[in-house]
Structure 1
Amino acid sequence: MVARHRAKRNANGEGGVYRRADGRWEGKFFVDTPDGLRKRISVYGDTERDALNELNKLRDQRRRGIPVATTTLTVAEYMSYWLEQIAAPSIRRTTYATYEGDVRLHIVPGIGKRQLKRLQASDIRAWLSELRTKCQCCAHGRDAARKKPRCCALANPECCQAFLSASSIRHILRVLRAALQDAVDEELLSRNVARLVQLRVTDDRKVRSFTRAEALRFLEAAEQHRLYALWAVALTMGLRRGEALGLAWADVDLGEGRLTIRQALHRVDGQLRLDPVKTDASIAVLPIPTPLVTILRGHRKRQLQERFTAGSRWRETGLVFTTSHGSFIEPRNANRMFHQLCEKANVPQLRVHDLRHSCATLLFTMGVQPATVQRILRHSSITVTTGTYVEVIEAVQRDALDSMGSLFAHVGDGSTSPLSSKTGPLSSKLSSNGSE
């Protein structure tokens, strides 16, 4: 008796393909949904091969741990997956914290309940329009968390109108575009609808910086501060707040007069930590101005005295700027000290980051070329430099062209124009050619 050969069957859960009564081919497959459940879904094709191809795509997605776009997959569920599985492994932790904040505070509350596959460009436009006019303090209950309410949580609530800036809204849209593009690349979506949305809003905010006179008053007021060197370094070398607070003595060569920028101090996940600087382009070796070398030597001497006084309480971090016990300086405390110095110096209340803008502005007003300013500030391209400080550059160009007015100092005083003088070379040439 000849043994009968049974057709090979797929393992349980691997899915199968069969022909429907209407002639189309259908494949069924169990997938893992983002909420941790298993769901059986169907794929279709005009031929058996088409249905098998669709089924194989689902198998590949499950193998790679990609959530399958079932009808229950929402924007919020996908953004959670995107943050943890795609964004987190490929970006810096500080960048991740920014993305996570955009998702948690803006994207999920705004469009999180919409189904990923049904999200339209019109949905995104409507959400962004609402975002522009929504007070963030009111929306997130920030005033209620304060010990002394100032606006929304008062007995008679007052909106403080803490609206998002245009640059913040653009950043939120960029995060959404990046996430949806990854969904397209992983074949969860057929197109990125966020790319169809264009923002035509501009910031009324301009780059704020100290004038030369204000910078001098600020440095004079800061001269007796224990962190005078911090403010001097940030202003004269254009360091970001985190870069200045994360500067290590191992990266400062006072003998050669140069420092290396390679790390920054940030509060991430509730803890202060040192991370590599913003980008590879931000790593640089910069010369230290001679007066600043003297200031840093004095700061080093003062820090050694503090270390001796602290004794066993001293925490060795190796950083240039620390607390009196050697610990990291909390960035928010740096902000408070800076605002106190601004008040003492009677200068505008800027941000610590605006010391970087002040450095660039002062360099431009001293006639330094944009390419040199770019290298000092370590921008990724000269376009970033000229785009950020376009108004400053235009003002410098205007002053330069106004200086050309000295050529016309005689205009209006009754004297003869040099161009019309018969003794001038140009008028002589014109006279000789008068017959023509």
Structure 2
Amino acid sequence: MAEFLKRKRAIEPTTRRSYESHVRLYLTPYLGNIRLDQLRVSDIAGMFDAIEEFNDTVATERASGDPARVLAVRYRRPVGPTSMHRIRATLRHALNMAIRQDRLLDFNPASVVELPAIDRPKPVVWTEEKVMQWRKDHAAHLNLLHRAGESRRADPIAAYISAPRPSSVMVWTAEQTKTFQAHARKDRLFVLYRLIATRGLRRGESVGLRKVDVNYATCRIGIHWQITQLGWDPIQDVPKTDASDREIAVDAETLTLLKEHDKCQRRERQAAGEDWAESGFVFTDEIGRPLHPQHVTDRFCGICYQAGLPPIRLHDLRHGAATAMLAAGVDIKIVQETLGHTTSAFTRDTYTSVYPEAAAAAAEATAAFLTGSPVPAPRPVPPGRRTPRPGQDAKDAAAGDTGGTVTLLPTS
């Protein structure tokens, strides 16, 4: 495995780090004492069995309710199906190299090892019922920390984030997004968060947005650069795929806010004087330096906590934008291109969850179509919009009276 890493020269730093961690944490400890020509399928399967046993141990200890046992596995992370497939892919790639370049093997045992299927988590909406249950779980989580003697030292935001939630991918409703925007408006990075919430930018894309890529005349921004993390170190680079390198439309309100943000940045530059470091990015710190991606996440979590909202990850704000676009009836191809996905099939498979109100309206429309109901079926609408009143007369419907609407993602 050391020779494999040595030969892999032309790879991305993040890919190299992934290979190195797989070798260090799993492949060397579990398989390092086996001669290459004696490596069997059962050896590799045994490694993954051991990883599964580790996962079971962590889950059992965390569910025990014993503060000491919970504390003992506090920093131990289970290895999920996706990570297992990546570990196997690293081993398979290394063994293929040994077969092709050195002819040390006649058969790649890693290629036939069976692993659990990867179930991509689907976005789940924070409905009122789920929020109520989460508040109970959060209270129980705080009580557990108190019993473990951690309550005085625990960061309240860390406890807020780590409380159990229905899914690893959660999406706010339109009202919850509105509440977040109201609380974030006074933050100097408000426009950055708004771009993620409405246009679905990735964190690295929003942090890496450059001034030269903002076109005020055409109301479009170019996503041609990004700032990601390698461990803790920020890395500046172009997007990895052609689909991610794109231009997207921006609404007029956001464009106005970008202009106001630029004026504020000019005032900061004047205040900083010679200390100003011109980086060319739209979003910077108070003296012009590029933002660290983790700093953006930390500020986001703080705003969510102060607003009293159920927790989501910053990346879930992007998921919320995608779900909102689909619930609003935006064509799947436009959603795909806006998000920077390679195919629309991936977009459709990932964002199958819809807002409850939109699902209910779709059910009514389907029933009306199949039963031949004379009452006009309501269109699928996202939360925040009202459907026509039951029994609304045909005259009002013909006149276009839908009971009034408000935008899905408010501008203020």
Give yes or no for TM over 0.5. Answer: yes
CA contact (8 A) 1:364 1:393 kept: no
- 3-state DSSP class of the match of 1:332? helix
- 3-state DSSP class of the match of 2:247? strand
Q: Does the C-alpha gap of structure 1 residues 155 and 393 become closer, same or farther in structure 2, counting only changes over 3 Å?
A: closer
Aligned to 2:33: 113
Q: Extract unaligned runs of 5+ from structure 1.
A: 1-78, 139-150, 412-436
Aligned to 1:340: 302
CA contact (8 A) 1:165 1:203 kept: no
Counterparts of 1:157 and 1:218, CA distance in 2: 33
Q: Does the C-alpha gap of structure 1 residues 394 and 126 become closer, same or farther in structure 2, counting only changes over 3 Å?
A: farther
CA contact (8 A) 1:360 1:373 kept: yes
Q: How far apart are residue 97 of structure 1 and its match?
A: 2.3
Aligned to 1:223: 185
Alignment of structure 1 residues 401-420 onto 2, 5 Å: 401-407=363-369, 408=371
Match of 2:73 among 150, 159, 164: 159
- 3-state DSSP class of the match of 1:134? helix
Counterparts of 1:125 and 1:395, CA distance in 2: 46
Aligned to 2:174: 212
For residues 7-58 of structure 1, the C-alpha deviation after alignment (integer angstroms, 9 at most, x for no partner) is xxxxxxxxxxxxxxxxxxxxxxxxxxxxxxxxxxxxxxxxxxxxxxxxxxxx
Aligned to 2:46: 126
2:116 maps to 1:194: no
Q: How far apart are residue 410 of structure 1 and its match?
A: 6.7
Q: Which moved more, 1:397-406 or 1:99-108?
A: 397-406
CA contact (8 A) 1:152 1:158 kept: no
Counterparts of 1:362 and 1:241, CA distance in 2: 18
Q: How far apart are residue 234 of structure 1 and its match?
A: 1.4
Give 1:170's aligned amino acid: H
Aligned to 1:54: none
Counterparts of 1:83 and 1:136, CA distance in 2: 31
Aligned to 1:177: 92
Count of residues paired in the alignment:
319
Q: Does the C-alpha gap of structure 1 residues 110 and 328 become closer, same or farther in structure 2, counting only changes over 3 Å?
A: farther
Counterparts of 1:101 and 1:153, CA distance in 2: 30
Counterparts of 2:109 and 2:312, CA distance in 1: 38
- 3-state DSSP class of the match of 2:197? helix
Alignment of structure 1 residues 341-356 onto 2, 5 Å: 341-356=303-318
Match of 2:6 among 59, 84, 89: 84
Give 1:223's aligned amino acid: R
Q: Does the C-alpha gap of structure 1 residues 154 and 317 become closer, same or farther in structure 2, counting only changes over 3 Å?
A: farther
For residues 155-191 of structure 1, the C-alpha deviation after alignment (integer angstroms, 9 at most, x for no partner) is 9943236312222222222222222222222233222
Alignment of structure 1 residues 225-304 onto 2, 5 Å: 225-268=187-230, 271-304=233-266
Give 1:296's aligned amino acid: L
2:32 maps to 1:93: no
CA contact (8 A) 1:251 1:259 kept: yes
Give 2:86's aligned amino acid: H
Q: How far apart are residue 255 of structure 1 and its match?
A: 2.3
Give 2:3's aligned amino acid: Y
CA contact (8 A) 2:122 2:351 kept: no
Q: Which protein is bigger by CA-based radius of gyration? A: 1
Aligned to 1:103: 23
Q: Does the C-alpha gap of structure 1 residues 379 and 400 become closer, same or farther in structure 2, counting only changes over 3 Å?
A: same
Q: How far apart are residue 400 of structure 1 and its match?
A: 2.2
Counterparts of 1:311 and 1:403, CA distance in 2: 61
For residues 251-282 of structure 1, the C-alpha deviation after alignment (integer angstroms, 9 at most, x for no partner) is 11122211111221123375323111122221
Q: Which moved more, 1:123-132 or 1:279-288?
A: 123-132
Q: How far apart are residue 377 of structure 1 and its match?
A: 1.1
Counterparts of 1:271 and 1:200, CA distance in 2: 33
Give 2:116's aligned amino acid: R
Counterparts of 2:353 and 2:92, CA distance in 1: 30
Match of 1:389 among 344, 351, 357: 351
CA contact (8 A) 1:136 1:162 kept: no
Alignment of structure 1 residues 362-401 onto 2, 5 Å: 362-392=324-354, 399-401=361-363
Percent of pairs with identical residues: 30
Q: Does the C-alpha gap of structure 1 residues 339 and 97 become closer, same or farther in structure 2, counting only changes over 3 Å?
A: same
Q: Does the C-alpha gap of structure 1 residues 267 and 171 become closer, same or farther in structure 2, counting only changes over 3 Å?
A: same
Counterparts of 2:305 and 2:70, CA distance in 1: 31
Q: Does the C-alpha gap of structure 1 residues 410 and 376 become closer, same or farther in structure 2, counting only changes over 3 Å?
A: closer
Give 1:177's aligned amino acid: R
Q: Which moved more, 1:376-385 or 1:237-246?
A: 376-385
CA contact (8 A) 1:121 1:196 kept: yes
Q: Extract unaligned runs of 5+ from structure 2.
A: 59-64, 124-168, 375-412
Aligned to 1:361: 323
Q: Does the C-alpha gap of structure 1 residues 398 and 182 become closer, same or farther in structure 2, counting only changes over 3 Å?
A: farther
Q: How far apart are residue 206 of structure 1 and its match?
A: 3.6
Counterparts of 1:182 and 1:397, CA distance in 2: 50
Counterparts of 1:384 and 1:155, CA distance in 2: 40
- 3-state DSSP class of the match of 1:83? helix
Give 1:111's aligned amino acid: L
Counterparts of 1:231 and 1:265, CA distance in 2: 16
- 3-state DSSP class of the match of 1:162? coil
Q: How far apart are residue 312 of structure 1 and its match?
A: 1.3
RMSD: 3.1
Q: Give the structure with the higher percent helix.
A: 2
Q: How far apart are residue 319 of structure 1 and its match?
A: 0.8
- 3-state DSSP class of the match of 2:341? coil
- 3-state DSSP class of the match of 1:281? coil
Counterparts of 2:207 and 2:363, CA distance in 1: 40
Please, what TM-score do these two structures have when normalized by structure 2?
0.70
For residues 182-223 of structure 1, the C-alpha deviation after alignment (integer angstroms, 9 at most, x for no partner) is 222223322221110232245585432222222111111111
